[in-house]
Amino acid sequence: MEFLTELWLPILLTAVALQIASTICWVVLPHHHGDFRKSANEDELMDSVRKLNLTPGRYIFPYMVHADHKDPAVLERYMKGPVGVLDVWGKANMGRNLALTFVYFLLIALMLAYVSWSALGALPTEARFLKAFQVVGAMAVMVFASSGQLNAIWFPRRTSMDFLDGVAFGLIAGLVFAFFWPSAGA
């Protein structure tokens, strides 16, 4: 638990910096504007979904389990299409979502601190910045840039901007830890 006493400040500052960066990425910068598209018949689509009275959740269509792959009727529905995923959300609770995002960043920063402290410990002043930046930055890029990629393979969606955000978040985390990494004998 020594890592907590030595790295509490970069853990907290990383979570704060990433919360700010995430907000900037989604609210200020335009690169996520193309992540979602408007339906040609949005009112008709919304009326159709509303009539289904679906509870919030993720729906795949046509729905099938593994055993259904041999059923000709299910295969015909699949081949006829469309094939997709429908996410139905409830009303957004911005306060709750922002708080949970901060907790997510805090937990990732905590794990980054734990692994990097286990690998590096306190470092000599002359090596501290670069080594902390290399280790924490590489791990953080790996976490943030890859977090949605596997899911996108199976449920196609645009992830290139998420990947770029992840690289930026990783570099930010690496820099915060590098600036505040404790020196040996400090």
pLDDT in tens, 135-184: 999 999 999 999 888 777 877 777 888 899 999 999 999 999 999 999 86
Residue 17: per-residue pLDDT: 97
**Mean pLDDT of the region 37-53:** 93
- C-alpha span between 6 and 27 (Å, rounded): 34
Place of tokens 């290139």: 160
Check if the beta carbon of residue 74 is closer than 8 Å to that of residue 100: no
CA distance 8 to 177: 10
pLDDT, tens only, 79-92: 999 999 999 998 98
Instruction: Tell the residue number behind the tokens 């910045």, with chain if given.
Output: 129
Enumerate the H helices of the chain as residue ranges. Answer: 2-23, 42-52, 72-80, 94-120, 125-146, 149-154, 160-180
pTM, entire model: 0.82
Mean per-residue pLDDT, 117-131: 89
Domain residue extents for the chain: 2-180
Q: How far apart are CA 35 and CA 39, in angstroms?
A: 13
* Model confidence band, residue 185 (pLDDT cutoffs 50, 70, 90): low
Alpha-carbon distance of 36 to 126, in angstroms, equals: 47
